[in-house]
């Protein structure tokens, strides 16, 4: 049987927690990482009815997009739905795992799923993030450099888009002298040595720093490894908020809203005045995304799809872009499908279900 930890590790290989926003609480919220998993229930939210469904279906792990606990709980009196949900999960040995803004911010995540539903093409991150990459520079004998590149690549370095084993090498001369306590790989202790070395440079995600350094020290031939790390200001086009892409063909504003309604199975859409220009370039952000309007306008998108827009924020469109608010739950409801489809191939022997509960707290009267 698989453990909770094995499942969470697989999820974090896809969406590392380091990519969550500072306010977030993604990760294992309830449960023992070593617990054997009998089944997984996937849901957008974790509420009491979802825990009840997990019990009924024989699932002792819930994987949800939204964290049931955002801030610390000081009391467990069952006085609100958060406390009651957590108490019920603990009583029935059900683990709760949340994969929230880290799943929003990765390529292939929540926003890419929405883009898939809309049949968008040439989809890219709308607002890429910075300072999440580092560069390793190390000096190594020519005879060892290929093996080191291979080891570092397997650890996660040297990945640039669809390319791996990416590196830069330059040949030079290194000098060193070991004291009487050394056992140098090349040369003799207490003697100044001059050796041919290669300067090797590779980039890697900043959260892998510890793993990369351990791999370097394990596979480098020297007793004392000369290396340094740099935090890069480069924009990482694979990580960030929202996405932007293109419809297969341009539509009028009204035709686009009808298309959006059908693709996302919506009851209604809140939107700004229709604009005169055809709609083809689409920017979107699942959940609360009004903070990305300027990015959408800078990308010259014709429409910005998101949720949770406030009254005064609609004025910010200024007739230059169509804002379409489709609802928070509605924008992210296919996240459960995304998570199930990601988990199933890796855990084929495990029952993985999508909840039958509609957890949307908002209802509409027509």
Binding residues for a divalent metal cation, by number, are 65-66, 104, 328, 332
Query: Cβ(297)–Cβ(316) under 8 Å?
Result: no
Helices and strands in the chain, H and E counts: 11, 15
Helix, strand or coil for residue 275?
coil
Cα–Cα distance for residue pair 319/359, rounded to 1 Å? 34
Instruction: Report phi then psi at 226, rounded to 5.
Output: -90, 115
List residues forming the annotated binding site. 65-66, 104, 328, 332
Cα–Cα distance for residue pair 10/119, rounded to 1 Å? 27
Cα–Cα distance for residue pair 239/206, rounded to 1 Å? 12
The H or E element containing residue 104 is: helix 101-104
Query: Cβ(178)–Cβ(228) under 8 Å?
Result: no
Q: DSSP letter string over 211-250?
A: HHHHHHHHH-SSSS--EEEEEE--EEEEEEEEEEEEEEEE
Cα–Cα distance for residue pair 42/20, rounded to 1 Å? 19
């Amino acid at each position: 049987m698989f453990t909770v930890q094995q499942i969470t590790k697989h999820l974090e290989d896809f969406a590392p927690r380091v990519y969550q926003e500072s306010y977030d609480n993604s990760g294992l919220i309830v449960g023992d990482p070593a617990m054997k998993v009998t089944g997984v229930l996937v849901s957008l939210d974790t509420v009491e009815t979802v825990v009840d469904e997990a019990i009924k279906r024989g699932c002792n792990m819930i994987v949800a997009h939204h964290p049931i606990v955002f801030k610390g709980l000081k009391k467990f009196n069952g006085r609100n739905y958060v406390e009651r949900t957590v108490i019920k999960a603990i009583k029935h040995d059900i683990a709760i795992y949340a994969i929230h803004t880290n799943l929003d911010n990765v390529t292939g995540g929540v926003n890419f799923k929405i883009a898939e539903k809309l049949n968008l093409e040439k989809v890219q991150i709308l607002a890429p993030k910075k300072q999440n990459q580092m560069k390793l520079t190390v000096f190594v004998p020519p005879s060892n450099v290929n093996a080191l590149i291979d080891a570092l690549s397997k650890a996660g370095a040297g990945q640039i888009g669809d390319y791996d084993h990416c590196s830069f090498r330059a040949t030079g001369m290194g000098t060193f002298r070991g004291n009487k306590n050394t056992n140098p790989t090349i040369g003799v202790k207490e003697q100044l040595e001059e050796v041919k070395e290669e300067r090797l440079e590779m980039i890697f995600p900043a959260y892998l720093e510890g793993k990369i350094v351990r791999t370097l020290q394990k596979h480098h031939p020297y007793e004392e490894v000369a290396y340094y790390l740099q935090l890069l200001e480069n924009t990482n086009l694979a990580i960030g908020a929202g996405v932007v892409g293109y419809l297969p063909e341009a539509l009028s504003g009204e035709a686009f809203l009808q298309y959006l309604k059908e693709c996302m199975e919506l009851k209604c859409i809140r939107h700004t005045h229709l604009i005169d220009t055809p709609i083809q370039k689409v920017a979107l952000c699942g959940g609360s995304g009004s903070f990305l309007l300027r990015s959408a306008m800078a990308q010259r998108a014709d429409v910005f799809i998101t949720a949770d827009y406030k009254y005064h924020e609609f004025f910010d469109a200024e007739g230059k872009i169509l804002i379409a608010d489709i609802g928070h739950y509605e924008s992210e409801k296919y996240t459960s499908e995304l998570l199930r489809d990601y988990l199933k191939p890796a855990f084929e022997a495990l029952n993985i279900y999508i909840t039958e509960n509609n957890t949307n707290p908002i209802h509409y009267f027509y």
